[in-house]
Amino acid sequence: MKESISHQILTVAGALFYSEGIRAVGIDRIIDEAKVAKATLYRHFPSKDHLVAAYLQQRHDRVIGSLHEALKTEAAPRNQLKLIFERLYEKADSPEFRGCAFALAVAEHGDSERVVSVARAHKRMVAGIFRDIVSKADINADQTAAHLALLYEGALATVAVGRDPQAVLVARDCALTMFDTAIRSTKSLENAAP
């Protein structure tokens, strides 16, 4: 089946935006590489702002879908946490990895409420995944999930700046230690209760 024109444009724009930066890539370049007419691009995406938001939404759907599929392979919350960080490590260990596409987009296009809104929704969804995982372990889900999400985000930023994917493995180890400590703390409180 032939891919849709909008999907073709998004695929080209997404690859360019992520590898070169949003501001560095002009609409004419996207039109040229996607092999579409300017009117065709603007019929599907009325502005670059719309195109960037659609790129981020597509990326969000792919990332969240991939995480949900991966989490189905593990039942134990601790193993799910480990899996999330190991999946991130696989991505971070690629020469094409530039960090979090959402953080990069907001850094470059933060004046766009549309772009910022998609990025914030993505970050909330990732934090929600951590909350879902830790709530299965019967520990303080909100606080622990916030800490885990911060470790995840910190790993993304550290790899982007330092170009060392080992930061993700350090974050994984911290996340697992934090999870284990939260479990022990919960059990201690339960045992101490009258």
Q: Enter the tokens of residue 166.
A: 């080992």
pLDDT band of 187, cuts 50, 70, 90: low
pLDDT band of 119, cuts 50, 70, 90: very high
Residue range(s) in the chain whose domain bears CATH number 1.10.357.10: 57-192
CA angle 9, 13, 18 (to 5 degrees): 155
Amino acid at 182: A
Residue range(s) in the chain whose domain bears CATH number 1.10.10.60: 1-46
125-164 in b/e form (b: 16+ CB < 10 A) is ebbebbbebbeebebbbeebbebbbebbbebbebbbeeee
pLDDT at 89 (0 to 100) = 97
pTM, 2 dp: 0.90
**Stretch 23-48: mean pLDDT:** 97
- Asked whether the predicted pLDDT for residue 139 surpasses 90, the reply is no
Say whether 99 sits in a helix, a strand or coil.
coil
Residue position matching structure tokens 């260990």: 93
pLDDT tens digit string along 56-90? Answer: 999 999 999 999 999 999 999 999 999 999 999 99
Q: Is 122 exposed, middle or buried (0-12, 13-18, 19+ CB in 10 A)?
A: buried
Task: Put residue 35 in one of left, alpha, beta given phi > 0 → left and psi -120 to 50 → alpha.
Answer: left
Q: Does domain 1-46 have CATH number 1.10.10.60?
A: yes
Do 97 and 157 meet the contact criterion of CB atoms below 8 Å apart?
Answer: no
Spatial distance between the Cα atoms of 124 and 149, rounded to a whole number of angstroms: 9
pLDDT at 118 (0 to 100) = 98
pLDDT at 1 (0 to 100) = 42
Spatial distance between the Cα atoms of 18 and 91, rounded to a whole number of angstroms: 13
Q: Enter the tokens of residue 124.
A: 């909330």
* Highest CATH level, class, for 57-192: mainly alpha
